[in-house]
Amino acid sequence: MTIHTVRALNDNYCYLISNAGVAAVVDPSEAAPISTALRERGLKLGLILNTHHHHDHVGGNLELAQEWDCPIYCSEADFSRVPGATRAMKDAESFEFAGLHFSVLAIPGHTAGQIAYHIGDALFVGDTVFEMGCGRLFEGTAQQMFDSLSRIQDLPSETRLYFGHEYTETNARFAAEVEPSNSAAIHRRLNQVRDDLRARGVASAPTLAEERLVNPFFRAPTLEDFTRLRTARNSFS
Ligand code: ZN
Ligand code: FE
């Protein structure tokens, strides 16, 4: 299995998961950069996976599905709102594609129907977690997001997190402000991301173990701590 990161719109990350010449795309914000990446790699698109219904995650659905005649999976809750959706996924449901085993993890909070896709060591978290940050609460409650972050943290520590956006710069400043005693680790991680972005144009996906060292939302022990941080982050820029 190969995971290739594609940047789209201002700061979105889309992912191609490929095996034996066939790819699934996670959250195609727009069709053009996905088509280019497929062509460059000589891959065929066989499946579209959406983590949630927001436009910047589904914008390329219809054009890509038409070009490649492929199905589109999303969560049950989002089914009516995801353009071209063909199959509704439930929590813990699994499926095979291109010889790979995928499973679904419900992680509501950013939206009510947000799901993650889990393949081997890779977890595609959409807008639930970002480098040193977490998603805004648009449809879910703080309790739901806190529980979703706990669910993610219960996975094996070598699990790699594939985020929906590149928000590292602002998140690192926030993380250092709320936890000054951890600023050395935060700056190491920030510099690593900057090096990745300069060298490859995309940040490398951190493991859960790495992310726990720097992400203030993973490090919030209680719901009250989490809620305070989430509120503070809303007014931080
Ligand atoms: Zn979103
Ligand atoms: Fe988004």
Q: What percent of the chain has pLDDT over 90?
A: 100
The per-residue pLDDT for range 37-76, each reduced to its tens digit, is: 999 999 999 999 999 999 999 999 999 999 999 999 999 9
Domains and CATH numbers, the chain: 2-167 (3.60.15.10)
What are φ and ψ of residue 48, in 5° steps? -115, 130
Residue 156 pLDDT: 98
Residues flanking ion ligand 1, Cβ below 5 Å? 54, 127
Q: Relative to the alpha carbon of 8, which ligand is closest?
A: 2
Catalytic residue list contains 55: no
pLDDT higher than threshold 90 for residue 228: yes
Cβ atoms of 145 and 130 within 8 Å: the answer is no
| pTM summary value | 0.98
Q: Which of 27, 110, 118, 147 is catalytic?
A: 110
Model pLDDT for residues 109-136, shown as the tens digit of each residue: 999 999 999 999 999 999 999 999 999 9
**Count of beta carbons in the 10 Å neighbourhood of residue 135:** 28
For the stretch 181-225, pLDDT in tens is: 999 999 999 999 999 999 999 999 999 999 999 999 999 999 999
How many helices and strands, by DSSP H and E, does the chain display? 8, 13
Question: CA-to-CA distance for 61 and 46, rounded, in angstroms?
Answer: 12
Q: Identify which ligand lies nearest to the alpha carbon of 163.
A: 2
Dist. CA 127 → ligand 2 center (Å): 6
Whether the predicted pLDDT of 101 surpasses 90: yes
- Using the predicted structure, report yes or no on whether residue 237 has a pLDDT greater than 90: no
